[in-house]
Each structure stands twice: as C-alpha cells, then as structure tokens.
Structure 1
Amino acid sequence: MSLRPDITELMARARADLRMGVPVVISDPARGSVLVASTETLSPARLAGLRALGGELCIAITARRAETLKARAYDGDLARIAVPDDADLTWIAAIADPADDLNTPMKGPLRSVRDGQADLHRLAIVLMKAARLLPAAVVAQIPKGQVTAIAEGLTRIDHNAAARLMAERSPLREVVAARLPMEVSEAGRLHIFRPEDGGEEHYAVEIGRPNRQAPVLSRLHSACFTGDLMGSLKCDCGPQLRGALAQMGAEGAGVLLYLNQEGRGIGLANKMRAYSLQDQGFDTVEANHRLGFEDDERDFRLGSDILKSLGFSSVRLLTNNPAKIAMMERTGVAVTERVPLKVGETAHNRGYLATKAAKSGHLL
C-alpha cells in the first residue's frame, strides 16, 4: 500500500501551489523538464531564483493573447515569448495582463521562441486555466526535474500522465442530498456533486418529483456571482436563474443544474478583468481573447453527467444556447424540446446580448 499522491492529487496540489506563487516542475522522459510559475503570482524573490538557474526564461501565452500583442505564435495554439535579461515583474505582468494595453500598446519588440517542443509549455497554460489564473506561465528549462523538485520541495507533474488526465473530465459523485423548501416550490431538493480531482462542486436543484421516464424541464446554469447574487445589470444571468426556477415551480417539476463555471469558465477574477476591458470598449468575446481565453471555456458535459446520474435520459431544455443542445445530444441525453428563456434585457446589457447572438450563436 502506498500513501503517495497519484497524478489527480498532484494536479490539485499544483493548482494550489501556482495560486500561491509556488513554482511546479513538469517533466517528461523525452522532452526534459521545466520549472513553471504563474505570471500573476510570481514574486521578485522567486523570479530571481528562476534566473539563478542560468537558462533562458520565456513566457508561455495562448495564441489569443499573442495575437493581441502582435507576437508570432510559432507553436500554433501558443507562443513562447523570450524574457529579456533586464525584464522585471512589471514587464512580465504586462505580457500576460491586458489591463494597460491601451495606454502602453507597444510591449516589444517581442521575440518568439521557435526552437524545441512546446508540449510542456502547453500543459503549463492548462494548469493556469485550471487554477483560474491568467493563462500565462513563466517557464525555465531545467536539466533534472526530479532532483530540483526534491531539493526545493516542489510538486512535480509527469507530463504524459497529466496529458492523459486532462483529456478526460473528472468523475462526479453525489456527496449528499437534502430537502430544500424554496419560494418557487416547497417541494425542493438540493443535490451536491463533487469531482474526484478536487475541483469545485456542482449542484442540482430538483423541483417536485420529476418522472425519470419522461423529458424533464431542465436548465444548465453557470454560476454568476455578479448576476445571481448582486443583481448585476451587465448580464441576464440573474433573471434567467429566477425565471427558470419559477417556470419549474409553476409546472411542479424540473431540475436546475448550477455549475460552478463562473465567467464562462474563467473564474470571477478573470471575469472582472474582462469587465474592465469592456469598459475600455471591447465586447465580451474580444475581452476574453485579449486575456488569452477562448470565447467560452465551460464544459457543459458536467450537466449531462449529473442528469444521467440522477436517472434522466431526456430533457426539455431551458436555453437560448444551441451549444448546450448539441452537447446534450452528443453525450446521450435527448433534447425533446428547446424552451426559450428570453428575460432580463436592460440598457446595460443590450450590447452584451447582441454579441452573444452575433458571435456565439445564441437564439435571442
């Protein structure tokens, strides 16, 4: 019997380390080893430590961010930007964070690294996204990953094992369920689902006693702190949440899946960064791209997994998003009807909704 953490547990540890500013080691027998740190949480002392290793530092950024910086993405979906010897944390942060792009648009000249493989850098960006950090990593080549990890007490990730793990979604298991009387229905029940990878929990709100043999009125709702709790006028999330629950209550049955994928999967901090960019004149999709993210980083398959675990195989889906319908069908949950959910338009979010319709295909 071994008490050693497996790759799933090591990845959870790596996410926590990166959020606190602690570097991690990524190793591969064929590709060597790199030391990886978040551009967002890197300290001056640790930057000095990376430089003391003696090799060239680079910043791995996504092709989306590279396009904003007019940097060459020789590696396709990412670019490796060489860090000048005299670059400080302010320069590194400016490569990753677009907050000051309009004031200082010229960051360069930037030199993109094109020699060698970028697979370890690619995994570094995946880790940053999973940790809800900016998708940018300071990377240093090191000759002996295991030796460095042991000497410095750092988490070491095997690239091949991690790549296999990241290609799959973590299994969800129901932790507990309990009765929850609500305003829309006294016959409410809340189910808590926890992923095995140590990620955020997701919830299923069951209204009444839906028939498992018939299509259930359902909604996949992504968490929105600003809209659901604060009543933000910049989006339509709060009205959609309350409207969906009200319709389920009126019909006497339904399942609302509350998925913790804030900000289309980029996290609340990055969502607020996107809001700041929107105040500079960029739309919601452009803001995500400037930060280095795709239009939508969510995984709606989580909703399908939860529905099937609850015994449902078909739904009447409350949505304006065709991508959710397509995902359900691909993952074995039949969508017998799309139920429109057009609520919450305001003067503040009219442009946002127009962008969702024009660029993301929402049926508004």
Structure 2
Amino acid sequence: MSLRPDMTQMLARARGDLRMGVPVVLSGRDGSVLIAAAETLHADSYTALRRLGLPLVLAVTNWRASTLKARAYDGDLARIAVPDDAALGWLLAVTDPADDLRSPMKGPFRTLRDGSATLHRIALTLAKSARLLPAALVVALPDGAGFAAEHDLTLLDADAAAAALTAFSPLNKVVDARLPLAVSEAGRLHVFRPDDGGEEHYAIQIGTPHRDRPVLCRLHSACFTGDLLGSLKCDCGPQLRGALAQMGTEGSGILLYLNQEGRGIGLANKMRAYSLQDQGFDTVEANHRLGFEDDERDFRIGTAILSALGFSAVRLLTNNPAKVAMMESQGITVTERVPLKVGLNPHNSGYLRTKADKSGHLL
C-alpha cells in the first residue's frame, strides 16, 4: 500500500501552490518547464526567475491575445516572449485587463510560433482550474525533475496531468438530511463531493419525486451576488427562488445547486468581469478580455448527480436550450423545457439581452 499521492491529488496540490504564488514544474515528452500563475507571482520569485538567465514566456489564451493584438500562432493560445527589461508590473498589466482602456498600447509583442505549445496549454488549463486568470509564466528547464527537487517544487507528469485535467471527476455522496424550507416543509439536502478536491455540489429535493417519471428539475449555478445578496445585475436570485417555489407548488422537484460561480470562472474573476462591464463591455466581451470562454461551466456535474439519485428523465426549468442538449447528450431525457422568465429589471436588461443574443437563451 502506497501513501504517494496520485495525479488527481498532485493536481490539487499544484492548484494550491499556484494560488499562493509558488511555481510548479511540468515534465513530459515535450520537455520540462516551470510554470507560475502570472496574477499571484511574487516579486522575489520573479527576480529569482530572471536570475536563472533563461527565456521567459507568458502564455495567454487566444481571447486575451486578441485583446492585446498579439498573434496567437498556436490557435487557442499565444506564447508571448517576455522582454528582457520587463518588470513584474508589465507582466501583470498584460495579464489583467483592468487598465486596458487607460493604457491600451501594451505592445508590440513578439509571439512565438516555433516549437510545441503543449506544456503552455496545460499551464493555462491548470490556472483556470485554480480559478486564476488564464495567464502563466513559463520557463523551459533543461532538467525539470532536478530543478523541482532542488527547490522543493511540485513536479507533475505532463501527459498524466493533461489527461486528468480534462477528465470528469467522479462525485461521491457525502450525506443527506431533512431540511424544511419556506417553499416546502418536505425538503431534503444532498451533498456531493468530487474526487479532485474541488467545490462540493448540492441537490435540494422537494417532496418525494418518483424515479419512474420525469422530475421537475432546475440546474442552477451558484451566484453569491444574486442568490445571497439580491444583486440586480443578473436574474439568478429570482430564478433560484422561482424554481423552488414552483417545485413547492407542484409538491416535488430537484434543484441542482452547482458551485460554478460566474459561469465557472470563480467569484474573483466574476467581479473582474463586472468591473469591465462598468467600462462598457457586455458579459461575453468581459469574459473574453479576461481570457475566458463565454461559459466555462461543466454541466456533466448535474447529470452525474441526477443519475446518482436515480433519475433518468426531467422536466427542465431553463431558458437555455444548451442545457437541454447537454442533458440529452449525457443520457438524461428531457421531456419538457419549462420556461423560467423572472427577474427582469432596469439594471440587468442589457445582461439578459446579451444572454439572448450571444448565448441563445429564450427570453
């Protein structure tokens, strides 16, 4: 029996390192690199990296590269050569779009087109999974294993890490307990925990839904600002309360509460997007300027919970046809799409218009 952590556990360690500003080493068929999350890199660490005398490369997604007017020769990402005289402030300004409008001319940039971008791609995926901005400082190393051992850094096998980062993490039922709610005294909360050490997810059960018929179901992503604070910038809070109320009226239902804040980018990045929206960008444009896709959520989590609870068919409370398609693709039959049009107000009308125009929501 071995106590050595497996790759899933090593990735959880690596996420923690990156969030604390500690670099990680990737090693595989394409060589070895040291990677550091640009937004958390400490000044002394940056100085130490400079003293290595090795070329520094900043990996950013194609979306961020487009904003910077930097050529993304690798398709989904760009490898920007960091100038020899670039200070840490330059790195942070290129990474974070907060001051783009005040200081739009950050280039010109020299982006690399030769060599493999595989390790840079893994670095960006790892940064995203840590809920950090998708921008990573990458330094090629002649001996990755030796460097990691010398500096007590986490060493990841690149091929195994890439496979684990894209694999769906199994969910384990932790506990369920009776939870009387305002909409129904017959409430029950089920808690699920993923193997990868990520956030827990919940299923709120109303009544005793039959497993042999379609259950009224809402797939709801956590929204701290809307669900808890009553934010008027979105319709999340009204949708949450409206879905629960409808389930209470009908006497049964399942609300899946997935901890994928800000369409999967995390609360800090969501607030960054809000700041960009204050500058005049819509929801999708703000995500792109940060380097993210329109939507980074993994809705397989919801279908896995439904299957674990014994449900195979739903009446889905949603305005998003993509959720219906995703459910069907994962083996859950959607017998009906039940509209949930609530929460429109003067503060979120533009947000809802963007959801309709750019994300296909039926509003």
- TM-score (structure 1 length as normaliser): 0.99
Residue 24, structure 1, aligned to residue 41, structure 2: no
Q: Which residue matches 1:243?
A: 242
For residue 82 of structure 2, what is the amino acid of its counterpart?
Answer: V
Alignment of 1:1-364 (within 5 A): 1-28=1-28, 30-364=29-363
- In structure 2, C-alpha distance between the alignment counterparts of 1:3 and 1:304, rounded to whole Å: 32
Q: For the Cα contact (< 8 Å) 2:318–2:340, is it kept in 1?
A: yes
SS of the residue aligned with 1:113?
coil
For residue 349 of structure 1, what is the amino acid of its counterpart?
Answer: N
Q: Deviations over 1:196-253 (max 9, x none)?
A: 0001100000000000000000000000000000000000000000000000001010
Q: For the Cα contact (< 8 Å) 1:228–1:241, is it kept in 2?
A: yes
- In structure 2, C-alpha distance between the alignment counterparts of 1:52 and 1:306, rounded to whole Å: 49
Q: For the Cα contact (< 8 Å) 1:313–1:332, is it kept in 2?
A: yes
- In structure 2, C-alpha distance between the alignment counterparts of 1:16 and 1:172, rounded to whole Å: 21
SS of the residue aligned with 1:227?
helix
- In structure 1, C-alpha distance between the alignment counterparts of 2:178 and 2:142, rounded to whole Å: 56
Q: Deviations over 1:319-346 (max 9, x none)?
A: 0001100000000000000000000001
SS of the residue aligned with 1:296?
coil
Q: For the Cα contact (< 8 Å) 2:226–2:235, is it kept in 1?
A: yes
- In structure 2, C-alpha distance between the alignment counterparts of 1:51 and 1:89, rounded to whole Å: 10
- In structure 1, C-alpha distance between the alignment counterparts of 2:7 and 2:136, rounded to whole Å: 21
* Identical aligned residues as a percent: 72
Q: For the Cα contact (< 8 Å) 1:318–1:341, is it kept in 2?
A: yes
Q: For the Cα contact (< 8 Å) 1:34–1:145, is it kept in 2?
A: yes
Q: For the Cα contact (< 8 Å) 1:217–1:253, is it kept in 2?
A: yes
Q: C-alpha displacement at 1:167, in angstroms?
A: 2.5
Q: Deviations over 1:144-200 (max 9, x none)?
A: 111111111111111110111123110001000000001001100000000000011
For residue 10 of structure 1, what is the amino acid of its counterpart?
Answer: M
- In structure 2, C-alpha distance between the alignment counterparts of 1:43 and 1:193, rounded to whole Å: 35
Q: How big is the alpha-carbon RMSD for the aligned residues of Structure 1 and Structure 2?
A: 0.6
Q: For the Cα contact (< 8 Å) 1:318–1:340, is it kept in 2?
A: yes
SS of the residue aligned with 1:72?
coil
- In structure 1, C-alpha distance between the alignment counterparts of 2:238 and 2:351, rounded to whole Å: 15
SS of the residue aligned with 1:37?
strand
SS of the residue aligned with 2:356?
helix
For residue 271 of structure 1, what is the amino acid of its counterpart?
Answer: K
For residue 84 of structure 1, what is the amino acid of its counterpart?
Answer: P
Q: Deviations over 1:250-273 (max 9, x none)?
A: 101000000000000000000000
- In structure 2, C-alpha distance between the alignment counterparts of 1:273 and 1:149, rounded to whole Å: 33
- In structure 2, C-alpha distance between the alignment counterparts of 1:141 and 1:160, rounded to whole Å: 16
Q: C-alpha displacement at 1:88, in angstroms?
A: 1.0
Point out where structure 2 has 5 or more consecutive residues left out of the alignment.
Answer: none
Q: For the Cα contact (< 8 Å) 1:53–1:142, is it kept in 2?
A: no
Q: For the Cα contact (< 8 Å) 2:126–2:165, is it kept in 1?
A: no
Q: Deviations over 1:58-93 (max 9, x none)?
A: 100000000000000011100001111111111001
For residue 355 of structure 2, what is the amino acid of its counterpart?
Answer: K
Point out where structure 1 has 5 or more consecutive residues left out of the alignment.
Answer: none
For residue 137 of structure 1, what is the amino acid of its counterpart?
Answer: A
For residue 88 of structure 1, what is the amino acid of its counterpart?
Answer: A
Q: Deviations over 1:245-303 (max 9, x none)?
A: 00000101000000000000000000000000000000000000000000000011110
- TM-score (structure 2 length as normaliser): 0.99
Q: For the Cα contact (< 8 Å) 1:313–1:334, is it kept in 2?
A: yes
- In structure 2, C-alpha distance between the alignment counterparts of 1:89 and 1:344, rounded to whole Å: 43
Q: Deviations over 1:33-69 (max 9, x none)?
A: 0000011100111001111222100100000000000
Q: C-alpha displacement at 1:3, in angstroms?
A: 1.1
- In structure 1, C-alpha distance between the alignment counterparts of 2:87 and 2:202, rounded to whole Å: 43
Runs of 4+ in 1 over 2 A off after TM superposition: none
Q: For the Cα contact (< 8 Å) 2:55–2:140, is it kept in 1?
A: yes
Q: C-alpha displacement at 1:31, in angstroms?
A: 0.8
